[in-house]
Amino acid sequence: MSVVTTERHGDVLVIISNNPPVNALGAAVRGGLKAGVEEALADDGIKAVVIRCDGRTFFAGADITEFTKAPVPPSFPEMIETIENSPKPVIAAIHGTALGGGLETALSCHYRVAVPSAQLGVPEVKLGLLPGAGGTQRLPRVAGIEAAVEMCATGNPVSAAKAESLGLVDLVAEEGKLAETAIAFARECVARGPRKSSAMPVKGDPAYIESFTKANARKFRGFDAPAANIACVEAATRLPFEEGIAFERQEFMKLMMGSQSAAQRHIFFSERKASKIDDVPEDTKLRDIRKVGMIGAGTMGGGISMNFLSAGIPVTILEMKQEALDRGVGLIRKNYEATAAKGRMKPEQVEAAMSILTPTLDMADLADCDLIIEAVFENMDVKKEVFGKLDAIAKPGAILASNTSYLDVNEIAAATSRPQDVLGLHFFSPANVMKLLEVVRGAKTAPDVLATAMAVAKKIRKVAVVAGVCDGFIGNRMLKPRQIEAMKLLMEGATPQQIDKVHVDFGMPMGPFQMSDLAGVDIGWHRDPTRIENVRDALCAVGRWGQKTGKGFYDYDEKRNPTPSAEVQAIIDDFSARSGAVKREIGDEEIIERTLYPMVNEGALILEEKMAQRASDIDVVWVYGYGWPVYRGGPMFWADLEGANKIKAGLEKHGFAIAPLLAEKAASKGRFN
Ligand code: 3HC
Ligand code: NAI
């Protein structure tokens, strides 16, 4: 059956698209819509047209998979012009999400009706693009400059109610009654006649564009697409429609040909691919997760619990002492209240989340939990003891997970009589904010346990990636060579601020030393505070534990602004002299070659050892777990852009052993992705 069909309702022709899963506007849909309108025009009995979609959503945009293929007619502009130029009024009936080309199609219609749950947006900027089918020119006319610039540059959608207040939606229909409301409205529109958005004057104050750009400069740092989106909206304020469209097209093509959009589209598809496990069928029967147990209410335990509470899943949280329990629970409340104070949560939502949290000091209270996550100290003996006890009390079939950062999940599983139910769930700090979840697959982890973990991750809005059991899994394992090399560079004459700057200029949220200061320079040092074997030990010995003590690799003021420290430089100089290193000027290029190239090399080893299923999973880990700039697509995508040959040569220059897979890619000019 055709993806687009038509239905006659008296004098109204309803054009219906049914292109699962999201009604992407591929060639067949574009052709169908154009033909549908032409059918209406050729029929004297038809006075108005409604365009609606079957399935879960209105058009969610252009079909992104077509972007890298040869164009198939009709083009977007052709279809849009046919709709807008119709002398019979065309009404878009919107449910679900009208996104990108989907909203642009709705904007080419003369009127729009939506249900209250609908979301309308132009998320192209998140793919490194701009709405290239007239969106940047029609939105400022229909919804005003302010909304247009915000929607285009951030990609954030608006609700139906907001859209109605902007003039973007003409009528909000009752939920479940969209089709009949739109048909009735279409009849009303016959007398009004078609209303072309391209013919409307631009609404609002163009001065807003400059203030918006200034206010968001930090957020948009490094990205090409936000500026291009803003430039197009700005063009709409001063150019006639046709010229504005030509400018939009030219800017769209520039972005489309650039590496940033390729990287961002790569991450869009990689994120979705990551949830698929090669050897676990998609229809695997899942275990029911209705109640979660959390062991440890420290830094991670609190944040992890919040994910479940926010998703409406009850959590029982266990600590060893009342004081630690009270502190942990207090912090969860404080975090929620801070979110509410910013207006991002309602007070009753805070209470609803807190009401399904049960604090306890008795492990027996975890007996009815379906998933139990351990986040106690990073110590194998402690973890084994916890899992041994858990084995005795957890109900049969409960999933037992460890949040360990580095430890051997198989060894932890062996402390129980049910290793098939054990896996790692490695959340990232702050666990209520960071999107990444590494799902660590033990040698004996059952397929349904893995499949359930991936489904739970989606429910709590995490991006999950499967990792094998190895030191540091995917992310921390690749972080290690970077940290080691950064310390060596200090000995050879680079400064923390120079190395950090290279990383920030590359697009990372912070460099290796700023990251150490945030996480705590003292991690691992307290076990033996008498030992002073390297710069880190020496910093800890003088109380430079990082931001929490107001000083680490940097000095911090009350607002946590960092400044370079003479004391730190003296410590670095002292160790450098003792190590016999010859100090020299270090170039930024060398910092890239020695801190980022080794990560690619480690990534290649991870792939060879099958600790990651695919190169794109590694990219997802780095984008969502460590803030690798999404416009560089993750380390393996970036390596493909750089070229394996160049990376290999750079590593060889600095004496690194080359991973066989990297050598193979270099020899064959192959790609990781
Ligand atoms: N093109 C092609 N495939 C798409 C797609 C699109 N625009 N949007 C989603 N898909 C695919 C996904 O890859 C996924 O495939 P899979 O099942 O094989 O993994 C499937 O549809 C379902 O998607 P999700 O898992 O993301 O489903 P959700 O229900 O979680 O989310 C959504 C639905 C909110 C619509 C989300 O998919 C989304 O944000 N899509 C992208 C929207 C977008 O960016 N639109 C703009 C496109 S660019 C454009 O329109 C250019 C124009 O201006 C010229
Ligand atoms: P933390 O020290 O803040 O919290 C650990 C908590 O566990 C403490 O409150 C302690 O009282 C409690 N605890 C210890 N033994 C217990 C037991 N037997 N029963 C109940 N509670 C017990 O530590 P943090 O940072 O939360 O780390 C926890 C785990 O998460 C570690 O394995 C760590 O490697 C891992 N992790 C930490 C990250 C971080 O950035 N802090 C990031 C990702 C993982």
148, 133, 142: which is closest to 61 by C-alpha? 133
Task: Confirm if 229 and 255 have CB atoms less than 8 A apart.
Answer: no
Ligand closest to Cα of 59 equals: 1
Helix (H) or strand (E) holding 253, with range, is: helix 241-257
For 4, residues 6+ apart whose C-beta sits below 8 A from its C-beta are: 15, 16, 17, 18, 19, 28, 29, 31, 32, 33, 35, 36
* 124 is annotated as an active-site residue: yes
Query: What's the token pair of residue 132?
Result: 């290239």
* Alpha helices, H only, 462-610: 475-491, 496-506, 512-519, 535-541, 566-579, 588-595, 597-608
Ligand 2: which of 305, 374, 376 to mutate, judged by most atoms within 8 Å of the beta carbon? 376
Q: What is the DSSP string of 52-93?
A: EE-SS-S--SB-GGGTTS---SSPHHHHHHHHHT-SS-EEEE
Helix (H) or strand (E) holding 615, with range, is: helix 615-626
Query: What is the number of the ligand 1 atom nearest to the C-alpha of 135?
Result: 53
ipTM of the complex: 0.94
- Cβ–ligand 2 distance for 479 under 6 Å, the answer no
- Cβ–ligand 2 distance for 376 under 6 Å, the answer yes
Helix (H) or strand (E) holding 564, with range, is: strand 562-564
Kindly list the distances between the CA atom of residue 530 and the CA atoms of 72, 378, 516, 523, in Å, as whole numbers in the listed order.
70, 21, 21, 15
Determine the Cα–Cα distance for residues 83 and 159; give it in Å rounded to an integer. 24
For 334, residues 6+ apart whose C-beta sits below 8 A from its C-beta are: none
Question: CB atoms < 10 A from the CB of 670, how many?
Answer: 11
Chain position carrying tokens 């505070």? 529
What is the biggest distance separating any 2 CA atoms in the chain, rounded to whole angstroms? 92
Ligand closest to Cα of 430 equals: 2
* CA of 379 relative to ligand 2 center, distance in Å: 10
Task: Confirm if 255 and 130 have CB atoms less than 8 A apart.
Answer: yes
For 464, residues 6+ apart whose C-beta sits below 8 A from its C-beta are: 274, 275, 437, 438, 439, 453, 454, 457, 458
Burial (0-12, 13-18, 19+ Cβ within 10 Å), 456: buried
* CA of 60 relative to ligand 2 center, distance in Å: 41
Q: What is the pLDDT of residue 594?
A: 98
Ligand closest to Cα of 365 equals: 2
One of 104, 150, 374, 485 is an active-site residue; which one? 104
Determine the Cα–Cα distance for residues 28 and 34; give it in Å rounded to an integer. 10
Length of the chain equals: 673
Burial (0-12, 13-18, 19+ Cβ within 10 Å), 518: middle
* CA of 201 relative to ligand 1 center, distance in Å: 32
* CA of 467 relative to ligand 1 center, distance in Å: 25
Query: What's the token pair of residue 314?
Result: 């009850």
* 180 is annotated as an active-site residue: no
One of 124, 248, 590, 593 is an active-site residue; which one? 124
Task: Confirm if 453 and 469 have CB atoms less than 8 A apart.
Answer: no
Which residue stretches of the chain have pLDDT < 50? Answer: none
Q: What is the pLDDT of residue 581?
A: 87
347 residue type, one letter: P
Ligand 2: which of 360, 377, 473, 477 to mutate, judged by most atoms within 8 Å of the beta carbon? 377
Ligand closest to Cα of 382 equals: 2
CA–chain centroid gap for 293, Å, is 27
Ligand 1: which of 17, 19, 63, 64 to mutate, judged by most atoms within 8 Å of the beta carbon? 64
Binding pocket residue ranges, ligand 1, CB within 6 Å: 21-22, 24, 60-65, 76, 97, 99-101, 104, 123-124, 127, 129, 131-133, 135, 272
Q: What is the pLDDT of residue 526?
A: 82
Q: What is the DSSP string of 338-375?
A: HHHHTTSS-HHHHHHHHHTEEEES-GGGGTT-SEEEE-
133, 132, 100: which is closest to 119 by C-alpha? 100
Residue closest via CA to ligand 2's atom 15 equals: 376
